[in-house]
């Protein structure tokens, strides 16, 4: 099973050109894709629905979208309202049906001197060859620990408490209310995205457990691991370029511990030109033939 995460910077490449075809080509043939910074009806990216445009270029994939920013972009034509939403957020695409999804808005604080925006985590439930799992695309804040740590705590609580809170709906099956049984709420989780923090950060420690001098990183059984490390890399190995050459890995794939043994490879496409980030790829065992 092949997975990718890519902050596409609303299709704007290193050359300043907007090109969704290039983005899709750089992603290649993946089974699960987590995208961040996807626009819909925003002037900078040509007032197009990038969600629909990306989906049209990957017609074999199921998809859902979850905006962090959602504002009016409607027009009036011949006296009739053409309802459009100006949106900026995350997208998940999957080779298999997305059984359920939930868009979680993350904590935000108002700032007086920095550009800031609402961030979100898009959580899905997918039946894959390695079993039912939750696959999520997230984009944490870019400012610093002060804004990210509350978001990290919220994301961990949402994901790890998932089995206790249950599926999207539940209780005795009632065809008059829901026409299908509730989807599963698996414990296994793959969380991918632009985390905006490197391995040598307090945020990384908060997510995965602190590193001790004699025992290494102390991770909880009901917690998360770094799939990059599970693939055999060192924590600080690899370069993910974003924001003027910030040469530390900030685009991550975090997994629940039961999935660690299934991680086969992890790599970064350092040649990709479609964004100010690089796409990051992961291969899990039991890939479909």
Question: How many Cβ atoms from other residues are within 10 Å of residue 126's Cβ?
Answer: 25
Model pLDDT, residue 14: 96
Helix 50-57, helix 20-27: angle, nearest 10: 50
Residue ranges covered by each domain of the chain: 2-284
User: What are the tokens at 287?
Assistant: 């890939």
- The answer for 128, left when phi > 0, alpha when psi is -120 to 50, beta otherwise, is beta
How many whole angstroms separate alpha carbon 111 and alpha carbon 175?
Answer: 48
In CATH, the number for domain 2-284 is 3.60.10.10
pTM reported for the whole predicted model: 0.95
Q: Over the stretch 180-233, which tens digit does the pLDDT of each residue have?
A: 788 999 999 999 999 999 999 999 999 999 999 899 999 999 999 999 999 999
Name the average pLDDT for the chain. Answer: 93
pLDDT at 286: 83
- Structure tokens belonging to residue 35: 């995208």
Residue 50, helix vs strand vs coil: helix
Query: Which residue, among 145, 76, 91, has the nearest Cα to 122 in the 3D structure?
Result: 91
Determine phi and psi for 49, rounding to 5 degrees: -90, 95
Angle at 189 between CA 185 and CA 191, to 5 degrees: 130
Rounded to whole angstroms, the Cα distance separating 33 from 4 reads 5
**pLDDT under 50: residue ranges of the chain:** 289
The C-alpha atoms of residue 135 and residue 259 are separated, in whole angstroms, by 12
Q: Which of 156, 197, 193 is nearest to 37 (CA)?
A: 193
pLDDT of residue 171: 77
Token pair recorded at residue 255: 């997994």
Spatial CB neighbours of 200, under 8 Å, sequence gap ≥ 6: 235, 236, 248
Percent of the chain surpassing pLDDT 90:
86
Report pLDDT for 289.
44
**Residue 249 region, left (φ>0) first, then alpha (ψ -120 to 50), else beta?**
beta
pLDDT score of 181: 82
């Amino acid at each position: 099973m092949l997975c990718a995460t890519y902050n596409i910077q609303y299709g704007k490449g290193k050359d300043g050109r907007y090109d969704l075809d290039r983005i899709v080509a750089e992603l290649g043939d993946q089974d699960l894709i987590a995208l961040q910074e996807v626009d819909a009806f925003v002037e900078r990216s040509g007032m197009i629905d990038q969600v629909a445009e990306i989906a049209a270029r990957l017609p074999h994939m199921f998809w859902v979208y979850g905006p962090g920013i959602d504002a009016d972009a409607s027009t009036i034509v011949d006296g009739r309202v053409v309802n459009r939403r100006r949106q900026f957020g995350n997208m998940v695409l999957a080779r298999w049906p997305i059984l359920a999804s939930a868009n979680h808005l993350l904590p935000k604080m108002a700032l007086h001197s920095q550009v800031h925006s609402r961030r979100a985590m898009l959580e899905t439930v997918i039946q894959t060859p390695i079993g039912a799992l939750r696959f999520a695309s997230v984009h944490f804040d870019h400012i610093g620990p002060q804004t990210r740590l509350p978001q990290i705590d919220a994301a961990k609580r949402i994901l790890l408490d998932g089995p206790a809170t249950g599926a999207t709906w539940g209780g005795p099956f009632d065809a008059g209310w829901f026409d299908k049984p509730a989807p599963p709420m698996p414990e296994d989780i793959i969380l991918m995205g632009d985390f905006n923090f490197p391995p040598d950060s307090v945020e990384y420690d908060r997510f995965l457990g602190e590193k001790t001098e004699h025992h290494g990183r102390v991770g909880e059984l009901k917690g998360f691991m770094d799939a990059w490390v599970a693939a055999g890399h060192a924590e600080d190995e690899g370069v993910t370029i974003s924001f003027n050459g910030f040469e530390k890995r900030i685009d991550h794939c975090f997994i629940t511990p039961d999935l660690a043994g299934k991680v086969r490879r992890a790599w970064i496409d350092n040649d990709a030109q479609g964004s100010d980030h690089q796409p990051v790829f992961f291969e899990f065992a039991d890939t479909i033939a």
